[in-house]
Structure 1
């Protein structure tokens, strides 16, 4: 009896013991599952973190590339700025040189213009009063004529004859031509070259019978003839003077000179 009681108890105990073991097995399975789930979650988190890290690295790389590109662009812009500054400096230097060149050119142009004006002034005809009339003459002709007359008035007849003769050859059509011929006759008379003086005075009167000095030229011609011991010719010339220019001062002087001629 006692044995029969013990067996069920033992069975119960066994069953109870078996139930406890079964419960332990169940707990381990849950734990393992939890661990697996945890590992999977951890792996997923790590994968996400790795993906995020990769994305972050890619983003950082892209950002670094952008920063590098910006730095290159900034460096290029800085180089361009320096180049532009250098070009501006060169342009400023060129402008300054150009300004100096322009100023020098203007100065030279002014000098050339002044020189040209002076040359033109020397070439432009000038108005002079000649034997009671106003005429336009070349400045160089005026200069040479004035020099020749000044030499004549100074009593240097040889030099004045040479100067007046040179003037005739150089300026045959000059407004001074008649006056030069008249004064050349006087210079020859002063030089006592009466023969050439007669030629000069005759040429003057023949070419310009209406010239204000024509009466004087005829009187000088008569005096030259008298010096050449030709009183007959001298009287004839004075008679021509009295006939052609009776009211002239030379005619009055010719009358007095006529009385002395024999």
Structure 2
């Protein structure tokens, strides 16, 4: 048997070792607590950021709706100022009455749509005809076009659409007419007025199939059809862009949108 002093020393060493082990354990537990607190703090920050993101998304949606409502309101006021409804005796099946109905649904002034539809039914007027006397002044046409395009570039979509419509009516034989139709369609597309944008781009292709704006108009027809949930028609149009203009920028854009549509359908 060990002497009493040796036994005490052994016990003292054991207690010391136990105390050291306890300190290590306490230290480990403290580090774990710190990590837990850090994780909880990060989770709280993430939740706060998610809440802020949701609030921003809600505000963005409200701003979009407010902008759209403002556009519709301003366009309806413009219709009143520009003369309002079509003639009472217009036939329901005539191009003018059809355009007027579309105008009421999509925000186009009825008088402008009716005049444009009538011009489409007659076809482009001869260069020297009395229906387009202003076309004899190329500088005036250029100035009017520049004003409309500047309004569009500045985000004044109501004003630009009105000015492009006036330009098309006053200068139907201008070399800038296809461009005016294209940017008129863009002004509608930008404010999500896809129905009227689609009609405008289709009119451009019908009247000016060989213009420089034809490829872009065909692409935008596909975009409008996609936005209107006309997936089958949109895919056919986009495939037509790829086939008709291979290797072009519009073909690349069409391929990208076609890919997006197919992904959405797969999901």
What TM-score, normalized to structure 2?
0.45
TM-score by length of 1: 0.46
Q: Identify the structure with the greater helix proportion.
A: 1
Of the two structures, which has the highest relative contact order with CA contacts closer than 8 Å and spacing of 6 or more? 2
Q: Which has the larger radius of gyration?
A: 1
